[in-house]
């Protein structure tokens, strides 16, 4: 864990993931960028979105036998609602994402930077593709915008970023997401997971819920 002092309010910032580039200060909500041993102040450009998710930065859980903790969040808006992408760091130092959309959860590894993404050209809903020997079908294509961030994230300039997102489903709950944004493109491979199987703790209290 690396500790820094917020250049805006002097609060102590603790980076839990070595891959984190930005952090939203929990004291003054300013966004800072980590450059080796120094922090650059971007100003109050983060913003958080109030929703009914029981998850929060600090929530812990498991993927199988691997323990993780949520260290950040990016919230995206599209025509039919919003979804959260929670940044998670495992105890072994690796990282990933927990996507939360309409009560469903998907665990993703970090982006597949070396993958040949040529097969994603001109994708349409219901199209079938082969990826590394597995069959996937395009289930959704949507344009969205990031409307809020908090905690630690592995990239800069998230809020306000617009892009096109392609969701593809495979067998045995496998999932692919391809995103094309102003900052570039990324491909993620993951798997659907039940809420109960995540064994979550330190959840957010929501008034009226049992």
For the whole model, what pTM was predicted?
Answer: 0.84
Return the SS3 of 165: strand
Per-residue CA distances from 172 to 114, 136, 201, 210 (Å) = 24, 11, 26, 32
Extract the tokens encoding 163: 């892009």
Per the listing, tokens 């900052």 go with 183
Give percent of the chain above pLDDT 70. Answer: 86
Q: 174: buried, middle or exposed (CB in 10 Å: 19+, 13-18, 0-12)?
A: middle
Q: pLDDT 10s per residue in the chain (210 long)?
A: 678 888 888 888 888 888 788 888 888 888 888 776 666 655 555 556 667 789 999 999 999 999 999 999 999 999 988 999 999 999 998 999 999 998 899 999 988 765 566 666 778 999 998 888 889 999 999 999 988 888 898 877 677 889 999 999 998 889 999 988 877 788 899 999 999 999 999 998 776 665
Q: State the number of CA atoms in the 13 A half-sphere of 38 facing the CB.
A: 3
Report how far residue 121's alpha carbon sits from residue 11's, in angstroms, rounded to the nearest whole number.
Answer: 46
Q: How far is CA 205 from the centre of its chain?
A: 21
């Amino acid at each position: 864990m690396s500790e820094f002092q917020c250049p805006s309010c002097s609060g102590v910032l603790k980076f839990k993931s070595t891959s984190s580039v930005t952090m939203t200060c929990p004291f003054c909500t300013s966004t800072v960028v980590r450059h080796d041993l120094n922090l650059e102040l971007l100003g109050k450009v983060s913003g958080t979105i109030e929703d009914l998710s029981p998850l929060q930065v600090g929530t812990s859980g498991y993927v199988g036998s691997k323990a993780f903790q949520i260290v950040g969040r990016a919230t995206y808006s599209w025509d039919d609602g919003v979804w959260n992408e929670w940044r998670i760091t495992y105890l072994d130092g690796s990282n990933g994402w927990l996507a939360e959309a309409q009560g469903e959860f998907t665990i993703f590894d970090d982006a597949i930077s070396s993958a040949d993404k040529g097969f994603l050209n001109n994708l349409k809903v219901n199209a079938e593709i082969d990826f590394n020997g597995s069959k996937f079908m395009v289930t959704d294509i949507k344009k969205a915008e990031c409307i809020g961030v908090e905690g630690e994230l592995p990239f800069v300039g998230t809020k306000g970023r617009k892009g096109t997102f392609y969701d593809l489903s495979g067998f045995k709950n496998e999932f692919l997401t391809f995103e094309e944004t102003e900052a570039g493109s990324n491909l993620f491979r993951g798997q659907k997971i039940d809420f109960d199987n995540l064994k979550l703790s330190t959840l957010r209290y929501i008034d009226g819920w049992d």
